[in-house]
Structure 1
């Protein structure tokens, strides 16, 4: 998990306390991002493909601190066919050759999101995904009102790679059938 920071080394994520565990003492955290960064970028550590199923997506409309989120627009979630996607922040934030999945989440006073977000079927067999505010592929692209979202409980399913059947199995099977037929022929000659 990280940020897209092709040229801007100040891009970063935040860790925010959102609740306490069942013991009432253990702090529970979620990752947060706002308009001083380029979004949240997640890929598998080994670069393997996965299915992105759902996530806790929290971006309630708010004009008061500490959760200021008052810029009208949408959040974009992009899925990619490869794990490493350089130069994302220098693009337009939406159109990339390796993008294979796309979904938006409204962010307005009348329609903001705070709950479990289920991703569409395009997010199957992706190698990375990126969440950012539409039109803002890097921090502070457009001056204006602040925006902020928090992310937790990302549910993925590892995509199993097809395992090829080695040629040796076919050769073994053919040899075994040959031995069985030779044994039957030998038994019929003896009778």
Structure 2
């Protein structure tokens, strides 16, 4: 029944393409919204979430180290279902947004610039189409929501065996190659790790943003990577002195 419902939702989305979008906005390069996609291979399940962050806002803050975001995923019942059986070693995630030749996406490495605008636009279309597929599954998982409600920020939980193209992370092209269009943009990031976020704009060289995306525990966060803080020299001197005192104490006991 769930599969049938998702089929109807997907059909409704396709019929209404260009007029309205379900949850994840995809209508323009400025207003298109970013989404989170998390895939656990061991469960063959994909969790998705409309992050409500627009392409325009993210682009405006590419170099802003003060721009941070945090999402408590435990607030979503579908995430709690997904995370209850989560195998961290088999789980990857992606954050992406795109429309036309302007996109932002996580990437394990540093992708090269697009060779031409046609290729760049194809990648934006791939991300946009996947957002539309997510919308189909999200509407089926959230009864009562409407196709035009882009402010809902819905989540979804989709199995590999569900109706195709309803948000499965491993279908409709893979995030390993930025949805089948860019082989050097490995958009999948390991669960528990911080992933680089790149701004790709036409044929310009991709720009590494000031922040990284991290998915760990029940938290998704965006912000500057936290560097390890070196211990002050005084701490090392104190430690060395303490070890010296302990050695002297042991010698006295041994002599006694």
TM range (shorter): 0.3 to 0.5
**Which has the larger share of helix?**
2
Structure with bigger gyration radius = 1
**Greater relative contact order structure (CA < 8 Å, 6+ sep):** 1
